[in-house]
Structure 1
């Protein structure tokens, strides 16, 4: 089984973290987000992954070189951004003639891919779309299905907070249904390809599962993914909580809360208090500093006696001693100043 993983997003909502690191390569506890995605695929029998992106391979080369074991990685660089549909069509030459998975590279899920493939085959579908039930669908477009689970239409985002089934961003696709499309312009698989297949009578089915699913596209969701992993909510992955890298240096007098991940070579000095936060590799928290619901980017420093709450610090950002910040984003290699 093969999979196409889309890694072309710009990660604008995660800035300043993505000013220096691609979104899919940001650390998620002990390894990059993309490692979690590939490990999940491997657990369900995927042996080859095609990574598709308009970025040059150089941005991902260190990750690809360091990756060990299944699945093997094939890289495709898009000549121009092709959208979700165009990128998948562009990869058809590498997937062969059998159905394949397609998904975004910034989703954390424990979706039963084996069960999804069985459902795809049972329904003789050309497309199967993973669905997730939400209590408030305003942030998503709704997917309407009949009593057999066949998708009948895609609905726009509702104005009112209503429950419904939404597209969870993992697909099984029959290559034949995509071959009429050309990969020479930007195409949306959700807004163009899927509606076209449905209109032509192609069997498109939903796979509704009670699985963990989280889009990691914002700082709040990125933090929540760490909390959920540390809390054991994602099947197949287990961590101690808090998680402290073996090479991190945490003073015995520092207080590290349960929902905290401290990366390699990071430091927390005496009296430091860190709660509900992520401290990236090489970052440091000074004497008596307070860090709450904050992402401390790689090599960033929180000065002694400072307090940062609901903040995002880019790589190499510096918080001077005895400064209090709330709700701010500090850019790469920038020193914060009083508001």
Structure 2
């Protein structure tokens, strides 16, 4: 089975982190987040992957060159943003005539793709949608299924917190199910294609799973993804907690809490305190500074004695010595005022 991974999201909710780094290439632990997605596919026997994106291939050139392994990657640049459905249709020429996987590239999951593909075959489905149960569906919308697992409808996001199954952004699709949209164009698979297939009586099934699943779409969920990996919640991902990458320097007089990631080449000075935070490659936390619940982009600097709480610093951003910032979003190369 082949797969298409959608990597075209602009990551607007993750700004300023995505001002200089495409969302799929944001570091997750010690590697780009897309690396984790591709490794997960390889573990389930997916050896050929199409990456579909409106980004130019040159943006991902170094990443693709560094992979050079399993799965083999084919890049497709969308002529314009095509939406989730249009991007999948645009990639179908590279996917053959067999059922294929399609998934969003900004999701961290240990979903059993092998079991999902078997479920799809057993049900003789036209489309199978991975569904994840949540306690509060307001951020997602609901996807109810019948007793046989057949999807009944796609409901809009509820106004009140209600439990239910939500779309987990991973699909097994028959090429023929998308024939109506073969001419391409911008179309959403969630808002247009799946509802149209259901209305036409096509065999659309939900594969309900309680596997780990997280949409890495905001700074809060980005942090949570790291903490969940450190806690061992994600199958196939094993890191010590705290995690200090090779080449990072942490002074023996500094304090690192358990839920901390320090990227390659980052440095933490004497007396500094880091808790519940992620430091990207080359980030610097100077003497006596305090960082809590924050993300420090590559090459960013937290000055001597500064305090950073619940904030996100883009690449090369600076918090001046003695400054105190809370809930800040500092753009690439920007500075926080002195405290």
Which interval holds the TM-score relative to the shorter structure? over 0.9
CA distance 1:255–1:183, change in 2 (3 Å): farther
| Aligned-partner Cα distance in 1 for 2:123–2:233 | 30
Give the Å deviation of 1:204.
Answer: 0.4
| Aligned-partner Cα distance in 1 for 2:122–2:293 | 45
Between 1:177-186 and 1:96-105, the stretch displaced more is: 177-186
| Aligned-partner Cα distance in 2 for 1:228–1:269 | 26
| Aligned-partner Cα distance in 2 for 1:317–1:307 | 14
Give the Å deviation of 1:198.
Answer: 1.2
Query: Which residues in structure 2 correspond to 1:240-319 (within 5 Å)?
Result: 240-319=240-319
Deviations, residues 62-118 of structure 1 (Å, cap 9, x unaligned): 100000321000000000000000000001100000001000001000001011011
Query: Which residues in structure 2 correspond to 1:24-103 (within 5 Å)?
Result: 24-103=24-103
| Aligned-partner Cα distance in 2 for 1:251–1:145 | 54
- Given that 1:127 and 1:174 are in contact with CA atoms closer than 8 Å, whether structure 2 keeps it comes out as yes
Q: Does residue 204 of structure 2 align to residue 165 of structure 1?
A: no
| Aligned-partner Cα distance in 1 for 2:227–2:81 | 33
| Aligned-partner Cα distance in 1 for 2:294–2:217 | 15
Match of 1:147 in 2: 147
Query: Which residues in structure 2 correspond to 1:69-218 (within 5 Å)?
Result: 69-218=69-218
Query: Which residues in structure 2 correspond to 1:315-334 (within 5 Å)?
Result: 315-334=315-334
Ranges in structure 2 where 5+ consecutive residues have no aligned partner? none
Count of residues in Structure 1 that have an aligned counterpart in Structure 2: 339
Q: Secondary structure at the match of 1:142?
A: coil
Q: Secondary structure at the match of 1:91?
A: helix
| Aligned-partner Cα distance in 2 for 1:191–1:217 | 19
| Aligned-partner Cα distance in 2 for 1:307–1:217 | 25
Deviations, residues 105-134 of structure 1 (Å, cap 9, x unaligned): 010000010110110011000100000000
Give the Å deviation of 1:180.
Answer: 2.1
| Aligned-partner Cα distance in 1 for 2:199–2:319 | 56
Cα RMSD after superposing both structures: 0.9
| Aligned-partner Cα distance in 1 for 2:213–2:259 | 19
| Aligned-partner Cα distance in 2 for 1:215–1:275 | 23
Give the Å deviation of 1:183.
Answer: 4.6
Match of 1:238 in 2: 238
CA distance 1:301–1:144, change in 2 (3 Å): same
Give the Å deviation of 1:141.
Answer: 1.2
| Aligned-partner Cα distance in 1 for 2:32–2:183 | 29
- Given that 2:322 and 2:338 are in contact with CA atoms closer than 8 Å, whether structure 1 keeps it comes out as no
For normalisation by structure 1, the TM-score amounts to 0.99
| Aligned-partner Cα distance in 2 for 1:93–1:118 | 24
For normalisation by structure 2, the TM-score amounts to 0.99
Give the Å deviation of 1:184.
Answer: 3.8
- Given that 1:325 and 1:338 are in contact with CA atoms closer than 8 Å, whether structure 2 keeps it comes out as no
Ranges in structure 1 where 5+ consecutive residues have no aligned partner? none
Q: Does residue 225 of structure 2 align to residue 225 of structure 1?
A: yes
- Given that 1:42 and 1:71 are in contact with CA atoms closer than 8 Å, whether structure 2 keeps it comes out as yes
